[in-house]
Structure 1
Amino acid sequence: MSSADPAVAITGVEHSYGDVTAVGPVDLTVPEGEFLVLVGASGCGKSTLLRLIAGFEQPTRGTVVTAGKPPVPGRGAGIVFQQPRLFPWKTVGGNVALALRYAGLSSGSSQVDELLTRVGLHDVAHRRVWEISGGQQQRVAIARAIAVENPLLLLDEPFAALDALTRERLQEDLRNVSGATGRTSVFVTHSVDEAVFLGSRVVVLSARPGRVVLDLPIELPRSGIAPDELRGLPAYAALRSEIGHAVRAAARLEGTSV
């Protein structure tokens, strides 16, 4: 990847399933180090766009390029899904060590412990997956995704199934991990508050077929401020209001629920 290449470049992309166009046309460039959040109503194509970036699907029209090349599934990006998708017969540490081994990296206990410490799980490496909570399982999934030094992290509604308190805690953890690693991230969510809290940039998609209706930089402090303080800022409330209005307006176009 040359210094001139963006982390992700989406050009004239459309994607259809049979006669139904799910996304497009979309043009979007994601610079290195950005935390981009895609937000919109159900069925607007957010997850489809993420799968195209991951290389799991190919666009019907247009091109998707990551780090200057067409994306290859399983390479170049760490991925976190809505469900953790862990191996239940392995321990927490074993799940992380497996990700390291697949990447050809050292999977010793010190490397595993470092990754689990990053996501606040330094003391559960020996436990089985079914012995930890849903929130802890999702942290393991994040640790596994950042185990390999891929420049890109893709997250598809990873906190959607969690209770509100666990979700907020993991948002804080992810914000800290993102700041520490400096990786480019693309995060899909329905939540406007989550988008403003996490993103350095938020893109709102219209109802199907998903198109960009708002592309907004989030100019808020990224460090040195407590989450409650951040959410209490007038600028935070203004951004949440602007993005929420755009999401609701786009959803109303076809009667889609947010």
Structure 2
Amino acid sequence: MSSSSNDLCVHTDHLSYSFAPNLPLSLHDVSVKFPKGSRTLLVGANGAGKSTLLKLLAGKTIANAGKITVNGSDPFRETNSGIIYLGTEWVTNPVVHRDMDVVRLIASIGGDLYPERRDKLIKMLDIDLRWRMHAVSDGERRRVQLCMGLIRPFEVLLLDEVTVDLDVLARYSLLEFLREETQSRNATIVYATHIFDGIGDWPTQLVHLSLGRIVHYGPISELVDSSIVSQKGNSRLLEVCLYWLQQDRKLRGDRGQENRATWDDVKEHLNVGINVFTDYFKRSRGL
């Protein structure tokens, strides 16, 4: 995909990443260009490299090779308050399971600075300002996370599976809000998800990752005819993504040439672990 430098927001050039020198690459030679105002959907099986790519774009870690620019700067080396990353780990953080009120949390990140935007998000996400964080569900905590993350107008939004806890209405409302952000403010969004129904016309482009490599990449109009609905009632986007992931599974199956461990191979270690746990349990119970 080509884009002029003035319109370009996210650019990676031959990007590669490994978690450790002795481990295989999690991303291999990834080159993409996301224009301003685009809504990119990252598609791929678990372990394909989607979360790794998002964290690199957010500047949370540094690439082993290649180059990343987000709004013209290196996100790892240069702080950019316009880049927002929202991932699944926030909900499991022990801090947000403490007895604290939602109002204080929202105010702590500048809720009073953007009152109209704050109130719109609170209403859209159906947040009860009387909630206390230790007494709400994971889905309700997710709504609070999204409200806090979106109160300040962003230039680039990186979403990693943050809609997984939301009900259908909340997810729909959020995606419509984000669509408006790209259209009215020219914001750029990169969204990794495994839930494809209901978003057939939401993304402007797709990136399909498999085993750390780009397999398909381009405007959704070139990769998917979203007007087609299958006999099962699925959107064409879902059908295409299902096909891609099925092919990925076959590819991973070809790696069966490896000597993978069987249950018998690990049973000895399993028995040792069970014995250690049993001994600990008996001692702790005074048995």
Short-chain TM bin: 0.7 to 0.9
- Write the letter of the residue equivalent to 2:31: D
Question: Which of 110, 116, 121 is matched with 1:100 structurally?
Answer: 110
Between the two proteins, what is the percent identity of the paired residues? 25
Instruction: Point out 4+ residue stretches in structure 1 off by more than 6 angstroms.
Output: none
1:115 maps onto 2:110 in alignment: no
Q: TM-score with structure 1 length normalisation?
A: 0.78
Q: TM-score with structure 2 length normalisation?
A: 0.71
| 8 A contact 1:113–1:125 mirrored in 2 | no
| 8 A contact 2:39–2:188 mirrored in 1 | yes
Superposed displacement of residue 240, structure 1: 2.3
The residue number in structure 2 matching 1:172 is 172
The residue number in structure 2 matching 1:223 is none
Per-residue displacement from partner, 1:81-110 (whole Å, max 9, x unpaired)?
114356334322222211227xxx727x76
Instruction: Flag the structure with larger Rg.
Output: 2
Per-residue displacement from partner, 1:188-241 (whole Å, max 9, x unpaired)?
12334376464222211012xx1111124335xxxxxxxxxxx99538733322
Question: Which of 226, 229, 232 is matched with 1:234 structurally?
Answer: 229
The answer to which structure, 1 or 2, has the higher relative contact order (CA under 8 A, 6+ apart) is 1
Name the Cα RMSD after superposition: 2.8
- Write the letter of the residue equivalent to 1:26: V
| 8 A contact 1:42–1:190 mirrored in 2 | no
The residue number in structure 1 matching 2:192 is 188
Where in structure 1 are there 5+ consecutive unaligned residues?
220-230
Compare the two structures and name the one with the higher helix fraction. Answer: 2
Where in structure 2 are there 5+ consecutive unaligned residues?
255-287
- Write the letter of the residue equivalent to 1:57: T
Note closer, same or farther for the CA distance 1:74–1:81 as it changes in structure 2 (3 Å cut): farther
Note closer, same or farther for the CA distance 1:157–1:199 as it changes in structure 2 (3 Å cut): same
Note closer, same or farther for the CA distance 1:120–1:73 as it changes in structure 2 (3 Å cut): farther
Note closer, same or farther for the CA distance 1:127–1:171 as it changes in structure 2 (3 Å cut): closer
Question: Which of 244, 248, 251 is matched with 2:249 structurally?
Answer: 251
User: 1:111 & 1:126 partners in 2: Cα distance?
Assistant: 19
Note closer, same or farther for the CA distance 1:110–1:234 as it changes in structure 2 (3 Å cut): closer
Superposed displacement of residue 118, structure 1: 3.7
Superposed displacement of residue 13, structure 1: 0.1
